[in-house]
């Protein structure tokens, strides 16, 4: 049930005369499986806050999610590049006038921060820390400060480019990475998913202070941001602090992403290449599927569990147990929307053998429904994963953050789980028939230069 | 029955139960938990294996989950997974840990399957052969991982001729040598009462667990724990560089290793504070701030005492690992050496010590934030005879550490030059970069590549 409630923080802000900015809207309250609730609030400048209050330990996770990622930079007419969203994420640790370079890390470390880091993906960027609960005010001050007052120093930007190039090169040394990049290029002719999040070395080295400034001022706005706090806090502590540190930030106009429609796929696509560091083959298969908001996302998600979770998973039994592969998995991902099969071949076997096995398994999925015990197995494995996520502050915040950025609905992950309970084996068969078709897939194979040996 | 300890923290309880004729159980009761975490720790590991058969412990442990007298592998696994459970095993040099996780409503059904696996494994020839193929494939696959190759080379050099020379999964040649009767013998030697410890975090009561575990206990054979075997690394007296030849990499994996410390070493807290600010803590350590922050040569750099699976009775290794862009590998190597020398001679600055103290003390509550973590501490304490400190005790120890103590501990436990260094990169490129960096230094004083290893040799 959604309900709205306005709460005046006038008492807290007596003397500031910003009564309008001192109120927030309670958008809703949802129950979790364990009886806890997630509260959702919105401030007048557009900033959203999600909170789960729990007091099992005197700690909390503080996460800041921005609805911006590498897609935005490529689609932005002024930028039209890749790699800046990620480089910029690094620059968020490089100082403000109040807390110069190094101070953010130093202070958060002093606070006792745990699991502190940031990540950038196609559609979002997040920053996160876990701190003792009594450090909430300080961590919020620091996060709000760098969101509002970041100083992008040209010299520091050049230094950080070195670290980012190092990160890129480390990724490029990994054959799996090449496989993923090529899969994206193969699957997407028009959409910016075909460009990598990390960008190219040339682009990274070429970014200017002006471009970083533009990115910051355009996308790091309260109305493009959600704070997620899970742990030992409560509404009356958290929200006045949010008001204090974020309340005066101004709403900005965020450019809308305008995707070109990806042409419909009518035949199987293939790419093959070699990687000097590979000693065995890697294969990725991507089937186009709808987004996480589509009802079909639910059976597809359970299908991925059936195929790859646990020792009894179909792919493990048919590929790893037979010695063809050292690892095989399947999963649905959103933005980009695909159902991915991933196989790391053992040295003496080829991707073609694995593809035959996968085709045979898919044919079986088309022909007959999976058994009730297999269905139950997949369902309970998903339940176990979700219970694990709910118990941990950081994992729960991540679950909300990812689904919020993907679908605009932080509860979508839990809704999918509820949706599983309404499924039966025939729904999985229908989904397999609908999406696991050769003409709907792209296949990437990365081979070693010389099998079993480094080139 | 004697309850050794009962501690209450809010609504959470833990207790340790033991009597000679009863199972040793560490239980963290958390009434709000949605899942039960169940560990069975077997206090023996790969250190007991014959040198030419490394990997037996790993194989028998994995086989225990692949078929029992009552269920074949498929039935066992599908029964398990249908419950909303997972059961896996991790093998270390000094212990085997079976880790299960199950949604709470199916906990006791899960325990029946766990009992089957522990007491009645079938050790079928077909499963044995299939597992061997799987393990051999995995070992060969390590050649794809530059990070792991450096670690393998360090083990081979520093622990040559000891059971620590090879990873617990073994190498291609040792796994090929293992026969099914080796596996059954090792299982029989390992699984007995004296070796077993149960560690559980769950929403259930002690009394419920006691009934189940006693029943398992009765069916286990008696046995005695074997004497502990400790192996010292043979560290060089001068920095010694080994290159694992990998052409065309765009980054190099650079690893420094020398003797570490044991869990019981008095210096563990002092060296912990020192390492935090020298290289242990990402983002704020001296190594990170200079080699990544100032110089931009690498994405990752860190150091620590846990590279061989955490502090234990073995002294293990102290390591520094970085992944510089290939053109900066030699620069990073020499900068790391000079930073180490400076740290060893002068210790830390006052503000670095205070930073480490504040951070370590303030983040200490995270060590106990979940029942799983609290359980981990108690198990650690039980295995290695070290106390689990309260926040106050920990603060007192950390706050009393100054530079004098750090320098003394460094002098006692570490060496300035006794580094084995491995670099995974193109050997020709490394030679060229070393020469460039050492221009003007007399040839006899230059650091040279002492050995070049092919990745295939490391896994063979």
pLDDT at A453: 62
Q: How far is residue B176 from each of residues A321, B53, B169, B218, B455, measured CA to CA in Å?
A: 17, 9, 12, 36, 19
DSSP A207: -
- Give A247-258 pLDDT, tens digit per residue: 999 999 999 888
3-state SS, residue A85? helix
Residue ranges of domains in chain A: 5-246, 269-448
Are residues B210 and B272 both part of a single domain? no
- Residue that finishes a domain, picked among B189, B219, B249: B219
d(CA B269, CA A112): 17
- Give B61-88 pLDDT, tens digit per residue: 999 999 999 999 999 999 999 999 999 9
| Contacts of A359 by beta carbon, 8 Å cutoff, 6+ apart | none
pLDDT at B6: 36
pLDDT at A19: 37
- Residue that finishes a domain, picked among B188, B219, B250: B219
Are residues B96 and B31 both part of a single domain? yes
- Which residues in chain B touch residue A116, judged by CB atoms under 8 angstroms apart? 283
- Which residues in chain A touch residue B85, judged by CB atoms under 8 angstroms apart? 380, 384
Smallest Cβ–Cβ distance between A34 and the set B10, B34, B247 belongs to: B34
Smallest Cβ–Cβ distance between A380 and the set B83, B137, B365 belongs to: B83
- Which residues in chain B touch residue A130, judged by CB atoms under 8 angstroms apart? 366
The sign of the CA dihedral A261, A266, A268, A272 is: negative
Three-state SS annotation for chain B: CCEEEEEEECCEEEEEEEECCEEEEEEEECCCCCEEEEEEEECCCHHHCCHHHCCHHHHHHHHCCCCECCCCHHHHHHHHHHCCEEEEEEECCCCEEEEEEEEHHHHHHHHHHHHHHHHCECCCHHHHHHHHHHHHHHHHHHHHCHHHHHHHHHHHHHCCCCCCCCCCCCCHHHHHHCCHHHHHHHHHHHCCHHHEEEEEEECCCHHHHHHHHHHHHHHCCCCCCCCCCCCCCCCCCCCEEEEEECCCCCECEEEEEEECCCCCCCCHHHHHHHHHHHHHCCCCCHHHHHHHHHCCCEEEEEEECCCCCCCCCCCCEEEEEEEEEHHHHHHHHHHHHHHHHHHHHHCCCHHHHHHHHHHHHHHHHHHHCCHHHHHHHHHHHHHHCCCCCCHHHHHHHHHCCCHHHHHHHHHHHCCCCCCEEEEEECHHHHHHHHHHHCCCCCHHHCCCEEEEECHHHHHC
- Which residues in chain A touch residue B130, judged by CB atoms under 8 angstroms apart? 321, 323
Closest CA to B34 of A60, A420, A388: A388
- Which residues in chain A touch residue B363, judged by CB atoms under 8 angstroms apart? 112-114, 132
pLDDT range class, residue B208, cuts 50, 70, 90:
very high
Mean pLDDT, rounded, for B242-266: 95
pLDDT at A33: 84
Are residues B122 and B10 both part of a single domain? yes
- Which residues in chain A touch residue B456, judged by CB atoms under 8 angstroms apart? 452-453
- Which residues in chain A touch residue B454, judged by CB atoms under 8 angstroms apart? 454
Determine which of B43-52, B62-71, B329-338 has the lowest per-residue pLDDT on average. Answer: B43-52
Taking an 8 Å cut-off on Cβ atoms, the answer to whether A454 and B247 are in contact is yes
Which residue did the predictor score with more confidence, A114 or A360?
Answer: A360
- The chain-wide mean pLDDT, for chain A, equals 91
- The chain-wide mean pLDDT, for chain B, equals 92
Which of 3.30.830.10, 3.30.565.10, 3.40.640.10, 3.20.20.60 is the CATH number of A5-246?
3.30.830.10
pLDDT range class, residue B15, cuts 50, 70, 90:
low
- Give B268-302 pLDDT, tens digit per residue: 999 999 999 999 998 899 999 999 999 999 999 99
Residue A241 tokens, joined: 């602090």
pLDDT at B10: 37
Taking an 8 Å cut-off on Cβ atoms, the answer to whether A33 and B34 are in contact is yes
Closest CA to B115 of B198, B226, B225: B198
Question: Over 70: is that where the pLDDT of B196 sits?
Answer: yes
Chain A nearest-CA residue for B456 = A453
- For B212, phi then psi, to 5°, come to -65, -45
d(CA B328, CA B248): 15
Smallest Cβ–Cβ distance between A373 and the set B78, B101, B106 belongs to: B78
Smallest Cβ–Cβ distance between A391 and the set B289, B370, B455 belongs to: B370
**In this structure, is residue B232 part of a structural domain?**
no
A402 to chain B nearest CA, in Å?
23
Determine which of A203-207, A261-265, B6-10, B314-318 has the lowest per-residue pLDDT on average. Answer: B6-10
CB pairs under 8 A between A and B: 200
B230 to chain A nearest CA, in Å?
33
Mutation target among B293, B358, B429, B454 for the A interface, most CBs of A within 10 A: B293
Taking an 8 Å cut-off on Cβ atoms, the answer to whether A323 and B134 are in contact is yes
pLDDT at B5: 37
Taking an 8 Å cut-off on Cβ atoms, the answer to whether B247 and A455 are in contact is yes
Determine which of B13-17, B47-51, B212-216 has the lowest per-residue pLDDT on average. Answer: B13-17
- Of chain B, the percentage scoring pLDDT greater than 70 comes to 95
Which residue did the predictor score with more confidence, A105 or B309?
Answer: A105
Taking an 8 Å cut-off on Cβ atoms, the answer to whether B370 and A280 are in contact is no
pLDDT range class, residue B226, cuts 50, 70, 90:
confident
Taking an 8 Å cut-off on Cβ atoms, the answer to whether B146 and A346 are in contact is no
Q: What CATH number did the domain enclosing B414 receive?
A: 3.30.830.10
| Contacts of A67 by beta carbon, 8 Å cutoff, 6+ apart | A123, A124, A224, A225, A226, A254, A405
Question: Over 50: is that where the pLDDT of A292 sits?
Answer: yes
Q: Are A339 and A287 in contact (CB under 8 A)?
A: yes
Chain B nearest-CA residue for A134 = B362
pLDDT at A14: 33
Are residues B81 and B148 both part of a single domain? yes
**In this structure, is residue B227 part of a structural domain?**
no
pLDDT range class, residue B114, cuts 50, 70, 90:
very high
Q: Are B158 and B257 in contact (CB under 8 A)?
A: yes
Mean pLDDT, rounded, for A271-282: 94
- Which residues in chain A touch residue B74, judged by CB atoms under 8 angstroms apart? 312
Residue B360 tokens, joined: 């370590």
Looking at the structure of chain B, the number of domains it has is 2
Name the burial class of residue A266, with classes exposed (0-12), middle (13-18) and buried (19+) by CB atoms within 10 angstroms of its CB: exposed
Mutation target among B284, B326, B356, B459 for the A interface, most CBs of A within 10 A: B284
Question: Over 60: is that where the pLDDT of B318 sits?
Answer: yes
pLDDT range class, residue A454, cuts 50, 70, 90:
low
pLDDT at B278: 98
DSSP A138: H
pLDDT at B3: 38
- Which residues in chain A touch residue B375, judged by CB atoms under 8 angstroms apart? none
Smallest Cβ–Cβ distance between A279 and the set B102, B143, B293 belongs to: B143
Position of tokens 């509820």? A418
Taking an 8 Å cut-off on Cβ atoms, the answer to whether A346 and B137 are in contact is yes
ipTM over 0.85? The verdict is yes
Taking an 8 Å cut-off on Cβ atoms, the answer to whether A112 and B325 are in contact is no
- What pTM, to 2 d.p., does this model score? 0.90
Mutation target among A146, A163, A202, A373 for the B interface, most CBs of B within 10 A: A163
**In this structure, is residue B114 part of a structural domain?**
yes
Are residues B63 and B185 both part of a single domain? yes
CATH of span A269-448: 3.30.830.10
Mean pLDDT, rounded, for B137-149: 91
Taking an 8 Å cut-off on Cβ atoms, the answer to whether B370 and A373 are in contact is no
Are residues B249 and B197 both part of a single domain? no
- Which residues in chain A touch residue B365, judged by CB atoms under 8 angstroms apart? 57-59, 112, 132
**In this structure, is residue B225 part of a structural domain?**
no
pLDDT at A451: 65
A425 to chain B nearest CA, in Å?
15
Are residues B175 and B289 both part of a single domain? no
- Of chain A, the percentage scoring pLDDT greater than 90 comes to 83
Q: Are A378 and A305 in contact (CB under 8 A)?
A: yes
Smallest Cβ–Cβ distance between B365 and the set A57, A101, A278 belongs to: A57
pLDDT at A452: 62
A454 to chain B nearest CA, in Å?
6
B255 to chain A nearest CA, in Å?
15
Mean pLDDT, rounded, for B205-222: 92
Smallest Cβ–Cβ distance between A387 and the set B34, B65, B297 belongs to: B34
Question: Over 80: is that where the pLDDT of A331 sits?
Answer: yes
Taking an 8 Å cut-off on Cβ atoms, the answer to whether A384 and B102 are in contact is yes
B196-202/B22-29 β-pairing: parallel
Mean pLDDT, rounded, for B177-191: 95
Are residues B311 and B449 both part of a single domain? yes
Residue B119, domain extent: 3-219
Are residues B189 and B246 both part of a single domain? no
B352 to chain A nearest CA, in Å?
10
Q: At what angle do helices B73-82 and B107-119 cross, to 10 degrees?
A: 160
Q: Which long-range contacts (CB under 8 A, 24 or more apart) does B351-357 make?
A: B352/B277, B352/B286, B353/B273, B353/B277, B353/B401, B353/B402, B353/B403, B353/B406, B355/A106, B355/A109, B355/A110, B355/B277, B355/B284, B356/B273, B356/B274, B356/B276, B356/B277, B356/B281, B357/B273, B357/B398, B357/B399, B357/B401
| Contacts of B402 by beta carbon, 8 Å cutoff, 6+ apart | B353
| Contacts of B443 by beta carbon, 8 Å cutoff, 6+ apart | none
Chain A nearest-CA residue for B361 = A112
Q: Are A221 and A252 in contact (CB under 8 A)?
A: yes
- Give A58-90 pLDDT, tens digit per residue: 999 999 999 999 999 988 988 888 999 999 999
What is the Cβ-side half-sphere exposure of residue B275, based on CA atoms within 13 angstroms? Answer: 22
Give the E-state strand segments of A252-382 in sequence order: 269-275, 282-288, 325-333, 338-345
């Amino acid at each position: 049930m959604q309900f709205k409630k306005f709460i005046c923080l006038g008492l807290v802000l007596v003397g500031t005369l910003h009564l309008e900015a001192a109120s927030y809207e309670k958008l809703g309250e949802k129950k979790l499986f364990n009886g806890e609730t997630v509260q959702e609030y919105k401030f007048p400048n557009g900033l959203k806050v999600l909170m789960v209050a729990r007091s099992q330990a005197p700690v909390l996770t503080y996460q800041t999610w921005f609805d911006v990622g590498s897609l935005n930079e490529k689609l932005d007419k002024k930028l039209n590049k890749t790699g800046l969203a990620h480089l910029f994420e690094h620059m968020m640790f490089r100082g403000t006038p109040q807390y110069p370079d190094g101070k953010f890390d130093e202070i958060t470390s002093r606070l006792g921060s745990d699991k502190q880091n940031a990540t950038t993906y196609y559609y979002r960027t997040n920053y996160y820390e876990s701190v003792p609960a009594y450090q909430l005010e300080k961590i919020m001050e620091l996060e709000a400060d760098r969101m509002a007052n970041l100083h992008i120093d040209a010299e520091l930007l050049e230094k950080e480019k070195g670290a980012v190039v190092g990160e890129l090169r480390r990724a490029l040394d990994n054959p799996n990475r090449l496989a993923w990049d090529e899969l994206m290029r193969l699957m997407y002719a028009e959409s910016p998913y075909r460009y990598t999040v990390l960008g190219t070395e040339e682009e990274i080295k070429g970014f200017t202070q002006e471009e970083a400034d533009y990115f910051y001022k355009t996308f790091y706005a309260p109305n493009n941001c959600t704070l997620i706090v899970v742990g030992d806090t409560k509404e009356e502590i958290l929200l006045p602090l949010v008001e204090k540190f974020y309340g005066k930030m101004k709403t900005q106009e965020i450019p809308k992403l305008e995707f070109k429609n990806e042409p419909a796929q009518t035949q199987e696509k293939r790419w093959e290449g070699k990687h000097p560091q590979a000693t065995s083959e890697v294969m990725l298969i991507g089937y186009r599927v709808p987004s996480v908001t589509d009802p079909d996302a639910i059976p597809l998600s359970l299908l991925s569990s059936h195929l790859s979770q646990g020792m009894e998973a179909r792919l493990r039994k048919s590929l790893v147990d037979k010695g063809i592969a050292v690892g095989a998995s399947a999963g649905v991902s959103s933005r980009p929307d695909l159902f991915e099969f991933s196989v790391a071949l053992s040295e003496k076997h080829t991707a073609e053998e694995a593809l035959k096995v996968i085709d045979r398994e898919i044919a079986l999925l088309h022909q007959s429904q999976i058994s009730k015990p297999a269905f139950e197995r997949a369902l309970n494995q998903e339940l176990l994963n979700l219970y694990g996520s709910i118990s941990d502050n950081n994992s729960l915040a991540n679950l909300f953050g990812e689904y919020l950025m993907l679908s605009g609905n932080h509860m979508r992950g839990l809704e999918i789980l509820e949706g599983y309970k309404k499924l039966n084996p025939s729904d999985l068969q229908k989904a397999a028939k609908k999406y696991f078709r050769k003409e709907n897939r792209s296949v990437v194979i990365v081979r070693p230069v010389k099998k079993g040996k480094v080139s | 029955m004697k309850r050794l300890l009962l501690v209450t923290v809010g609504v959470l309880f833990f207790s340790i139960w033991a009597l000679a004729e009863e199972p040793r159980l560490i239980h963290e009761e958390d009434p709000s938990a949605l899942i039960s975490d169940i560990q069975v720790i077997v206090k023996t590991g790969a250190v007991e294996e014959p040198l030419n058969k490394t990997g037996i412990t790993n194989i028998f442990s994995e086989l225990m989950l692949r078929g029992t007298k009552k269920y074949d592998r498929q039935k066992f696994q599908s029964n398990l997974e249908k419950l909303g459970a997972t059961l896996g095993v991790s093998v270390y040099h000094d212990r085997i840990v079976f880790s299960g996780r199950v949604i709470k409503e199916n906990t006791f059904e899960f325990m029946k399957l766990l009992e089957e696996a522990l007491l009645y494994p079938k050790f079928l020839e077909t499963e044995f052969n299939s597992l061997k193929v799987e393990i051999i494939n995995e070992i060969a696959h390590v050649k794809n991982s530059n990070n792991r190759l450096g670690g393998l080379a360090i083990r081979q050099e520093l622990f040559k001729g000891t059971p620590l020379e090879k990873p617990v999964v073994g190498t291609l040649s040792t796994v090929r040598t293992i026969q099914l009767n080796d596996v059954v013998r090792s299982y029989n030697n390992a699984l007995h009462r004296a070796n077993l410890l149960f560690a559980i975090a769950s929403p259930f009561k002690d009394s419920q667990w006691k009934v189940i575990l006693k029943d398992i206990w009765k069916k286990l054979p008696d046995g005695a724990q074997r004497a502990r075997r400790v192996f010292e690394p043979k560290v060089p007296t001068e920095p010694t560089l080994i290159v694992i030849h990998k052409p065309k990499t765009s980054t190099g994996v650079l690893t420094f290793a020398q003797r570490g410390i044991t869990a019981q070493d008095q210096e563990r807290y002092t060296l912990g504070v020192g390492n935090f600010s020298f290289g242990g803590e990402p983002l704020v350590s001296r190594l990170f701030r200079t080699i990544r922050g100032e110089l931009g040569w690498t994405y990752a750099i860190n150091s620590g005492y846990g590279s061989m699976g955490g502090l234990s009775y073995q002294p293990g290794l102290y390591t520094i690992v970085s992944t510089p862009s290939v053109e900066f590998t030699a620069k990073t190597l020499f900068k790391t050496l000079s930073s180490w020398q400076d740290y060893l001679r002068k210790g830390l600055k006052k503000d670095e010590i205070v930073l480490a103290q504040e951070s370590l003390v303030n983040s200490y509550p995270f060590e106990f934030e979940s029942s799983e973590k609290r359980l981990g501490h108690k198990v650690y304490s039980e295995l290695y005879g070290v106390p689990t400190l309260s926040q106050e005790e920990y603060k007192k120890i950390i706050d009393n550490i100054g530079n004098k103590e750090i320098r003394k501990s460094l002098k006692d436990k570490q060496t300035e030059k006794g580094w084995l260094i491995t670099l995974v990169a193109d050997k020709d490129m490394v030679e060229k970069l070393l020469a460039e960096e050492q221009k003007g230094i007399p040839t006899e004083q230059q650091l040279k590549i002492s050995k070049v290893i092919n990745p295939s040799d490391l896994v063979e």
